[in-house]
Structure formats: structure tokens, C-alpha cells
Structure 1
Amino acid sequence: MAFNTGLSGLRAASVDLDVTGNNIANASTVGFKSSEVQFGDLYASGFLSAGTNPIGDGVRVQDVKQSFGQGNVSFTDNGLDMAISGDGFFILNNGGEIRYSRAGQFGIDKEGNIINNQNMRVQGYTADEDGNLSGIRGDLQVETDNLAPRRTTNLTSDLNLDSREPVLETRVRDVGPLAYADIQGESFDVSYNDGTPDYNVDLSTAPDGSPITTARQAAAAINDAPGLSASATTTATTTLDDGFITAAGPANFNFSLSINGSPLTIDTSNITSLQDLVDSINNSSETSISASIVDDGTGTDVLRVIHNQGETLEYSYGDGTTTVGPTTVEGDVNVTGERVVAGVTSVTADADFATEYAASPIRITNEFNPIDQRTYNHATSTTIYDSLGNPHEMTQFYVKEPAPGNGVGVSEWSIYLQIDGEMVAGTDVTPYTARFDESGNLQSINGDPAGEIVIADWVPKDEDGQPNGADGPPATGTTVVTPIPEPPTTSAFVLDLSGTTQYGTAFGVNDQQQNGYTTGRLSGLDVSSEGVIFARYTNGQSKALGQVALASFSNTNGLSPVGDTSWVETFESGQPIIGAPDTGTLGSIEASSVEESNVDLSEELVNLIIAQRNYQANAKTIETSDAVTQTIINLR
């Protein structure tokens, strides 16, 4: 009996030593789970009953149980290394056999499959070409090909336009030339708001009480009115030609010119041609006078004299016997009315100045010019891409306009668009008009409340200004719908300004997003806490390649270890519950990390001492039993 008892103890202690030694050997094995031996005593008993004072038959090993407690998580330099923080196992495909492991030391094989050190493929949820995760489980694979370019089909700009900005464009109404004789002695009122007279212009008497007798004085009187500016010019086209001068001869030819009755000193002592007379006039001391030779409309060159300040001219010429003139020429007045001038009313005289003013054209004196920042209030640029992945710079220009109506409760801005220095979306002819309400919110763009602008006339070009081979604009007459359908076939794209505001604060670009990008090469991999594997590319894009799947079991201790730090499903473990990391009871993923062995080396060394002691004690039991038996044998 004692021999059997001691022998069972030796066997149990030997198993304990083996398990402890295995734990110690795997103290540095990633994902390893320690084991412990569970013992049970042995008693002899009959079929119907046991003895009153049964004596034990020794010990037996009931089970070697693994501890699936969490091991420490340590960081690594491999982006594909993963550690599970919490419950769950990685799912591995071992040539068709499914295994489960906590060891997350992963890499990539030559085909791009994510594998462990034993070339088992990691299982997960695959993604499509656009990075959308599916519910289909399979081998996870990293695509090492270049990321194909994507053309821009949508650009969203979230801007704030400063409502405090002034209107930069100066719109003026040009009136003239008006002959001084037609406006002489007139008096008219100027209004700046609703037609009510605000200022009176009197063309008969100057502010100092002197009479107005020339176009120059009339222009000065008009200039005194706020919002009006005027200039005067007197042009005298004579009938004097070269033939008259030649026929008269230098000795007989004479010419006189007066400015407001004051004779101009001109040297006519040796005039032999019309050009000599022109030079003599231009060499006079009067700098406001200029002379030139012009065609009188019949093919004859004649003398023209201009006084650029609008004084009255009087000229005459002769050949000694005949005198032509004197001829009096009064000046013309040109008037410019700025935007602030609403109209000219209450005209008193023969000429209808109000009609002239109302019918005159409107001119923009500082019209929008993309290379002159003084002609726009705000501008912002962003990079867009054509179908070949070539980058292009798109610039949006914003010009504040006069508020429509009475300016209460509504504001307007003009929008100009430029790509690579060329105007697009027809804004070279007519800009888009953005209207904002009294709260600064965008009401519409060209009447469309959606706040979208479709750019359908862009031809992508190279640095030399030639088409670069990328898709161009849609055919003439083609209707472009928004959003642009996939896959796009033209260069048309949508500028979404629905989030644009006009508040009383500085201009700012709150957000600007476009969906295009150039070609990209794989530059790195990232893994999220949900186990999603993202590929990073050199063009700044990232795309989901798949998501690691985890499995849990109702009875984890029912799993069967098969080596290589992996387990397989058994009847006792139950079927796996598979899901995405960080869902349900499954743990999360720690990227660039591994889970270390959960072996407590200090504890194992103590267990080793205990197992050794137990082994020695059981051996002593056998030795003692042998001595007792030998004593009996030696009895005589």
C-alpha cells in the first residue's frame, strides 16, 4: 500500500514539475497562458460501501488547467503587432484549419496577406475598393499597389464673409458731351435718395456772384455738387488746310486765336505749311492749348485746336485780302454721376438734363480684376484634381455689392471663380450672386436656395496652358445633375457654399473639403482600437483595408492547446462567438503592442521548490516502506 501511495505522489510531483517547468520556459512567449496542476486524492471503496476508517491510496492528477488572465501589454515598433485588451482571440486560418490565439505578432507575406510567425492568415472583415467595411469574413490582405487618383467632384467651402466690408466697386453714370450752348443758364436739382431735391446746381451764376459764360465755369459749378464730377473741353476743327496756306504765301498768311477774348501770342512770320502752324501753336506759352492735323471727313487734312479746360475759343485766318472768321467755338461738358446720385430733377431751361442723365450708360470704374486685390473683398484658394490626378489651384473671389432695394434685410456678394489663372463657370462674363438675409445666413446663389455652383466649363491644362489629356467638360447642352453621379466622366464638379455666412466678424475659412486626390503610394499602416486596419498613402489619403475579427467562447478552458500559442475549438469549449473588437464582451485592440505571457516567474520558482519538496517526500515514503519490508524479510 505504502509503495503505491508513494509512487502516485512521485507521479503527481513529476507532473507538477513538468507544468511548472513549461510555465517557466514560456515566461517570455507572447500570448502564452500559464497552467497549473489540479490534484485529487485516491481512496479504495467497495461497490456498496466504504470502510469505516478508509486509508487513502495516494494522489492523482485531475486536470492541468490554463489561466487565461490578461498578460501585460508592451509596445513594439511593428505597426501590425496587436494586443487584445480584454476578452477574445484572434482567428487564424492554418491552411483551412481555424485556430485561435492571443499572440498578435503579425506581418505580411509576399501576397499581401496578414500572417503570424507560422504563416497562419489573420481572419477579419474585408473592405471594398472604397474602404467600406463589409460583414464578410475572410483573410485580411494589405494592397501594396498605388492608390489610383480620384478627380474632384465636390468642393465644400464653409466661409464667413465680413458684413462690415465696404462696397469696392464704384458704379458711375456718364453724361456728355453736352454742348455748353445747350446747358447755358440751366438750373437743376440733384437727389441722392428717393427723388427729393437735395442740392441745386445753377449754371448761370457762380457762387461768387459772377456770371457763368464758358464750359469751364459750368463744369466747376457741377463739380461743387456732391457725387457729381465734370470736365470741359473745347474742340475747334477749322477749315484751314495746306492749300490755303500755300496759296497765301508766308508774307500774306495770317492766323489769330483767342481764349475767352484774350489773343494767344503765335509766331506766324514764316508759316509755309499746316504743320508749321501746328508747331507754332504748340510752342506757345498756353499749355492748355494743343493743335493737330486731322481729316475733316472728306479726305482733306485741316487744323484742329483743343483747349483741354473748356474755355471759349475764337479763331480767324486770311491771305492778306480775304479773312475767314472770326469763328467762336464753345466747349462741351462731360458729367459723371457716382452711385450715390439717385437722379437729376427739376431742370429749368431748354435742355432736358434729367433725360440726358437717366439715359446715360453705367460704367464700373474699378471693375473686378483677379490680379488687383483692390477690386475684391475676399479670396481663398484650394487644390483640386483632374481625372489624371494632376493638381490645379482654384480660387474663389468675393466682391461685396450694393444691397438691392432699400438695403434693409438683404445683402449681396458677387462670386468669381478661377482655376489656374483662367476664369471658369462663366464668371468672366457674369459673376454669381450670393444673397444673405438679415441674420447673415445664405438665402440663395443666383436664386438657388441649395447654395451650389456647378463648374461645367473647366478644361484641365498643363503648365504651358495646353489641355493635359484629362477628362474635359461635358458636351454642350448636357445637363449636369448634382451630386455628380459615380463614376464621373467629365471635369464638371460642384462648389457647395450652403454653409457660407455673412456675419460682422473677420473673413475666415472655417472648413474647406474636396473629395479628389492624386496618385499615392503606400506609406504606412495604422490599426484602430476597433481593429480597423488603415492604409496611409503618400498623397495624404487613408483607406480601410479591413477589420480584425475576434472570437470568444462560453467555456474558454474547454479550448484545446495545439502548440504555437494557439488553441482549437472543442466540444467542451462550445462554438465561437465572433464579432468586431470593442463590441459586446470582446476586448479592444492595442496597436503596435503585444500581450506578454501571464506567467508570474516568482510564483513559478516557489512552485518549483514545492514540487521538488513533494517529490523528495514521496520518495522518502517509498524508501521507508522498503526498509520496513526488509526488516520483515530479515526475521528468522
Structure 2
Amino acid sequence: MAFNTGLSGLRAASVDLDVTGNNIANASTVGFKGSDVQFGDLYASGFLSAGSNPIGDGVRAQDVKQSFSQGNVSFTDNGLDMAISGDGFFILSNGGEIRYSRAGQFGIDKDGFVVNSQSMRVQGYTADDDGNLSGIRGDLQIETDNLAPHRTTNLVSDLNLDSRETVLETRVRDVGPLTYSDIENEIFDVSYNDGTPDYNVDLTTAADGTPITTARQAAAAINDAPGLSASATTTATTPITDAYITAAGAADFTFSLSINGSPLTVDTSNITSLQDLVDSINNSSETSISASIVDDGAGNDVLRVIHNQGDTLEYTYGDASGSVGPTTVQGDVSITGERVVAGLTEVPVGGDDDIVAAYAASPIRITNEFNPIDQRTYNHATSTTIYDSLGNPHEFTQFFVKEPSPGGGVGVSEWSIYLQIDGEMVGGTDVTPYTARFDESGNLQSINGDASGEIVITDWTPKDEAGLPNGADGPPAVGATVVTPIPEPPTTSAFVLNLSETTQYGAAFGVNDQQQNGYTTGRLSGLDVSDTGVIFARYTNGQSKALGQVALAAFSNTNGLSPVGDTTWVETFESGQPIIGSPDTGTLGSIEASSVEESNVDLSQELVNLIIAQRNYQANAKTIETSDAVTQTIINLR
């Protein structure tokens, strides 16, 4: 009996050595769970009762139980490595067989599936093309295709317009372009409504005392008036036609041009057409001269020559039969003002009362009429990038102009809004701007009477750098109804500008937030995993999209799982069916990305256990040796 007892001890000690050695061997195995041997003693017993003086019959290994305690979490440089902090197992598909593991060393195979080093596919919840997670569980797959572009359909601008800004409009009476013959030998009395003394403009004599004889001198005299500016041009429209030049012949046609009596060198050799003459004049050394072909009002193309500084032009032309001319031409004078001018009247010397009537009928003109390239004509501006259906970027600019407050400025303020894309006005603001109205608290009341604060842009045609349509979706058809928000998928270039959060406070202009939902195409640049196991793809266009979510499984009896190698377990009857869900929900643990869970083996403890198992083995062997010695003694009796 002692032999059997010692032998059972040897077997038990051997099992203990095997388990301890396995623990030590897997001390660096990711996701490994250490095991302990549970021993039970053996006693002989009858069918109905045990002996009154039972003697133990040895020992046996009842169970090898794994410890599923949490292992240490260490960081890695692989974005798809995952560690479970808490309860749960990764779900793996091994060719259709479902296994469970705590080892989260994952990568991507050639087909884009998330797999472990044994090519088992990770199970999780899949996502649709827009990144919306579903409740359908399957193999997680990383799509490496380019992210398709998305056109801008909604732009939200959160701005503050400075209520302290002043109204920029200045209104003047524009006397418009006048011929020099209309104003020569006249004296004008310019009066202002801001208290500035009247100013007399003498168009008979220049400041140096010489007589004014040219449009250029007249413009200089007008420029001396405070707040007025004038420019002069001299235009000579000749009766020269193609027919005349053809009839004269290239050898006989003659033409000459002078400025203030100084001849201008013009090469008229081999002139066979009116266009040849235009080119010859434009190629001369005098850059202030330009020539073109115009209609004389009777359907004839004739020559027009312009001197852009208002000096006297003289020209002659002819053929072998003789010259025509010379003809002296004095040009037009244009008068504009940058100040408020109450009126512009004249004291006629020659009694020409028609001039006074012409001035009185002149239209009112806004000198700082909105001009996107002139910063003096608007108070604030902000730009952002939007995208068309092909993913091409375009610059969208909003301009804000302070307007006089309606109702005397009590309790309400108004701003005009102009919109521009790539330098072209949109939203109809090239004709009529939008009007934003604010209440006494600085909050937006409405835009063109609409309390939603939305502006729908329906007239934008995306263009390329050459100003031609680039092939992207254009505006909706004329008369088509555009609803907001723009439904998906969009089919036109229409988009919504939302200014509902815009304010008008007594603070500096500022863009608090500006968000739009469009983007250009992008390539996959990296992957991120959240603590809930959602795998996000990062793209070169700054966008990210959910590709799926890792699923975890928990069991009522974790120790009932059966280890099958490769640091995996399978479900058994004793473990119960798995409870599957998303990480960090219920009793399931959370995910730590770029991390792995190390083996939970305590190497120091295992080395001590190894010594104990060795002692146990040696002691049981000694039992057998002693029993052998006793038996030998009995055999040697005589």
C-alpha cells in the first residue's frame, strides 16, 4: 500500500511540476492565464461504509484551474493592439469555429480583415458607408479605399458683428461724364451741406493764369475743389472705314496724328484695312493713346482714337488725291465726388442754361457702393472653404455692411449681407443683399423676415480656375423647390448658410465657430480605437469614420471554458452561453488601444512553487524507497 501511496504522490507532484512549468513557460505570453493544481486525498471505502480506522491511499490531481485575474496592461506601437480592462473576451472566428481570447495582438490581413497572429478574424459590429454602427455582428474589416468626397450642404456661422461700427454710406450728386464743350468758359459754384464754404470752380483760366483750352486743364481745375475729383479723356471718332482704305490703296493711304500739336509717329506703310491702322496706332511709343474699331451709329465700322489724359487730339487722313483735315478734338470730362455735395450749379458766362438743368437731373450715387475688393465698402468679412460634389474646394466669403437703423435706430439694427464664392457673387446678392435685423439685446431677429436665420444658396455653379464649370453638380432647376435641411443624398450645389447664432454686441468682430459638412476625397492615414472598441479610420482630408466596433463576450462560469491553445478558449456546457455586447457596457470591460494584456503569471511565486513541487516529488520517492527497504528486510528473514 505504501508503494501506491508514494506512487500517487509522484504522479501528483509530476502534475504540479507540469502546471508550474507551463506557467513559467508562458510568463511572457500575451493574454495567458496561469493555472493552479487542485489536489484531493484518497481513502479506501466500502459500498455501505468506510473502515473504522481508515488509512489514506494517497493523492490525486482533482482539477487544473485557471486564474482569470487581470494581467498588467503594457503599451505598444500598434494602433490595432487592444487590451481588455475588466471582464470579457475577444470573439474570434477560426474558419467558422468561434473562439474566445484575451490576447489582443491584432493586425490586418491582405483582405483588410482584423486578425490575430493565427489569422483568426475578430468579430464585432459592422458599420455602414456613413460610419453608422449596426447591431449586426460579423468579421471586422478595414476598408482601405479612398474616402469619397462630400459636398457642402450646410454651413453654420457663429459670429459677432460689432454694434459700434458706423454706417459707411456717403451719398453725392454725380454730375456724370460731360464733354469739354459743355463746360468750357464756365464758372461753377460748388456748395456743401456740411458747413464747408462754397467753392468756385473757374474753367476759363488755370491757376497759373493761362487760359484753359484742353479737357486735361479743365479736369485739373475741378480737382482743386474740396471733395471733388475729375478725369479727362479726349476721344476722336473718325470717318475712316475699311472701304475708304481699300479705295485709297496701301501705297496711297496717308494718316497722321498729333497731341497738343506734337506729331505722333505712326507707321502707315502697307495699311490695307482698318484693323491694320488700329494695330499701327496701338503699337506706337505713346502709351496714353489707344485705338479701336467702333460703330458710328449708322452701321459703319470706323476708327476711334482715345487719349486718356485729356490733351488735344488732331488727325488728318487722305490718299493720293489730297488730304482731309486737320480735325481738332477736345475730350470728355468726368466729375465725381467723395463728399456729400448738396448741389452743383453754374454761373453762365455765355448764358448756357442747359447746363444747369443737366446737373439738377443727375442721379444720386453711393460713392462707397459695395465692392468686394475694396475693404472700405464693408465693415466685416469672413471666409471659409466649402466643397462641390467632386470634392473641389471653393472659397466662400461673407461680407457684412452696417446699414442705417430703421425707425430711428430705437430697438433694432440692420446689416446687409453679401455672399461670394471664388470671387463671384451668389445668393442674388449681386443685385440685392440679404438684410439681417437684430433686436435691442443684440440677438438676430430675422434675415429677410425669416426668423430661422437661414439663407439658402441656389444659384452657385462650381467653376474651375479658368472660370468655367468644372463638371460638378450645379444649381437646381429654375422653379424647383429647395427644402432645408438639404436631404441626403444631395443632387445639386444648393446649400444652407445658417446664421441663427450670429449676434450684434458692443464687442470686436469675431468668428466664434464656423462648421460645414463637406470635405474632399481622402486616403486612409491611420486607425484609432476608442475605449468602447470603436475602430475609427483617419483620412488625409482630416475626416474620420467609424469602421466597426469590437464585440466582447462574458460567461457566467469563466472557469468552465476549455483552453484549446493559441491563448484561446471555447465554450463548454459548464461555462454557459456567452453574453455578447459592446465594450464598457453592462459587466463588460473597456478597451485600451495600442496596448496588450500581459500574462498574469507571478514568476516569483511560480519559482517557489517549483521548489515545493520538487520537494514533494523527492519526498514521495523517499516513501517508495523506504517501503522497498522494509520489504527487503522482511524478505531477508530466515
The interval holding the TM-score normalised by the smaller chain is 0.7 to 0.9
Say yes or no: does 1:162 pair with 2:162. Answer: yes
Alpha-carbon distance in 2 for matches of 1:592, 1:398: 49
Q: Mapping of 1:155-554 within 5 angstroms?
A: 155-172=155-172, 219-220=190-191, 223=192, 225-226=193-194, 312=347, 314=349, 332=356, 362-554=364-556
Cα distance between partner residues in 2 of 1:282 and 1:550 = 89
The aligned counterpart of 1:202 is: none
Q: Distance in 1 between matches of 2:76 and 2:481?
A: 55
Structure 2 residue 4 is the aligned partner of structure 1 residue 4: yes
Asked if the contact 2:89–2:554 (Cα under 8 Å) also holds between the matched residues in 1, the reply is: yes
1:560 alignment counterpart: 562
Query: Which one of 606, 628, 634 corresponds to residue 632 of structure 1?
Result: 634
For the residues of structure 1 that align with 2:217 and 2:582, how far apart are their CA atoms? 97
Q: What is the match of residue 128 of structure 2?
A: 128
Structure 1 letter corresponding to 2:484: T
Structure-1 residue corresponding to 2:594: 592
Q: Which amino acid is 2:144 matched to?
A: T
| Equivalent AA in structure 2 for residue 497 of structure 1 | L
Answer yes or no: is 1:56 the counterpart of 2:74: no
**Shift in alpha-carbon separation, 1:215–1:430, aligned structure 2, 3 A:** same
Please state how far the C-alpha of 1:560 moved relative to its aligned partner: 0.4
- The whole-number CA distance in structure 1 between the counterparts of 2:403 and 2:216 is 46
Question: 2:469 is paired with a residue of what secondary structure?
Answer: coil
Change (3 A) 1:365 1:12: same
Residues 488/303 of structure 1: CA separation in 2 closer, same or farther (3 Å cut): closer
* Partner residue in 2 for 1:65: 65
- The superposition leaves residues 496-534 of structure 1 with CA deviations (integer Å, 9 ceiling, x where unpaired) of 111111111111111111111111111110000000000
Q: Structure 1 490/228 Cα, relative in aligned 2: closer, same or farther at 3 Å?
A: farther
Q: Which residue identity is paired with 1:160?
A: N
In structure 2, runs of 5+ residues without a counterpart are 178-185, 225-231, 238-327, 336-343
Q: What is the aligned-residue RMSD (CA, Å)? A: 3.5
* Counterparts of residues 612-623 of structure 1 (less than 5 Å): 612-623=614-625
SS in 2 for 1:472: coil
* Inter-CA distance 258–314: structure 2 relative to 1 (3 Å threshold): farther
**Kept after mapping to 1: 8 A contact 2:107/2:116:** yes
Tell me how many residue pairs correspond in the alignment.
520
CA distance in 1, matches of 2:210, 2:97: 117
* Unpaired runs of at least 5, structure 1: 178-213, 236-256, 267-277, 296-300, 316-326, 336-355
Partners of 1:158 and 1:407 in 2: CA distance? 24
Cα deviations across residues 225-255 of structure 1 (Å, max 9, x unaligned)?
Answer: 53789766689xxxxxxxxxxxxxxxxxxxx
Residue 605 of structure 2 aligns to a residue in which SS?
helix
Give the C-alpha shift of residue 328 in structure 1: 8.8
Matching residue's letter, 1:589: I
Partner SS state of residue 408, structure 2 = coil
Aligned to 2:113: 113
Offset of residue 293 of structure 1: 13
Q: CA deviation at 1:49?
A: 2.3
Give the letter for the 1:424 counterpart.
V
Q: Which residue of 1 aligns with 2:100?
A: 100
Distance in 1, matches of 2:116 and 2:352, equals: 107
Paired residue for 1:210? none
Check the 8 A contact 1:94/1:120 in 2, yes or no.
Answer: yes
Say which SS state the counterpart of residue 24 (structure 2) adopts: helix
Whole-angstrom CA distance in 2 between matches of 1:265 and 1:215: 15
Are the counterparts in 1 of residues 202 and 221 from structure 2 also a CA contact under 8 Å?
no
Structure 2: how far apart are the matches of 1:52 and 1:153?
91
Contact 1:89 1:100 in 2 (8 A): yes
Partner residue, 1:87 = 87
TM-aligned CA distance change 1:441 to 1:17, over 3 Å: same
CA distance in 2, matches of 1:140, 1:293: 78
Distance 2:346 2:476 in 1: 61
Q: Deviations over 1:449-506 (max 9, x none)?
A: 1111111111111111111111111111112111111111111111111111111111
Equivalents in 2 of 1:500, 1:228: separation in Å? Answer: 40
CA distance in 2, matches of 1:49, 1:555: 35
Deviates more, 1:509-518 or 1:51-60: 51-60
Report the equivalent of 1:42: 42
Structure 2 distance, partners of 1:387, 1:287, is: 57
Amino acid at match of 2:534: V
How far does residue 50 in structure 1 lie from its aligned partner after superposition? 2.1
- Flag the 1:574–1:424 CA change in 2: closer, same or farther, 3 A: same
Counterpart Cα distance in 2 of 1:280 and 1:77: 83
TM-fit CA distance, 1:171: 3.6
Cα distance in 1 for residues equivalent to 2:628 and 2:200: 143
Instruction: Output the amino acid matched with 1:146.
Output: N
Q: Which residue is 2:272 aligned to?
A: none
Distance across 2 between alignment mates of 1:92 and 1:545: 18
Task: Tell me the distance in 2 between the aligned counterparts of 1:232 and 1:93.
Answer: 98
Q: What is the TM-score of this pair, normalised by structure 2?
A: 0.75
Deviation at 1:329, TM superposition (A): 7.3
Q: How far is the alpha carbon of 1:405 from its aligned partner?
A: 1.0
Mapped partners of 1:482, 1:231: distance in 2: 58
Aligned partner of residue 409 in structure 2, secondary structure = coil
Alpha-carbon separation, structure 2, partners of 1:384 and 1:102: 45
Q: CA deviation at 1:363?
A: 2.7
Quote the Cα distance in structure 2 between the aligned partners of 1:281 and 1:468.
48
**CA spacing shift, 1:555–1:439, aligned 2, 3 Å:** same
What secondary structure is seen at the aligned counterpart in 2 of 1:406? helix
Distance 1:421 1:281 in 2: 36
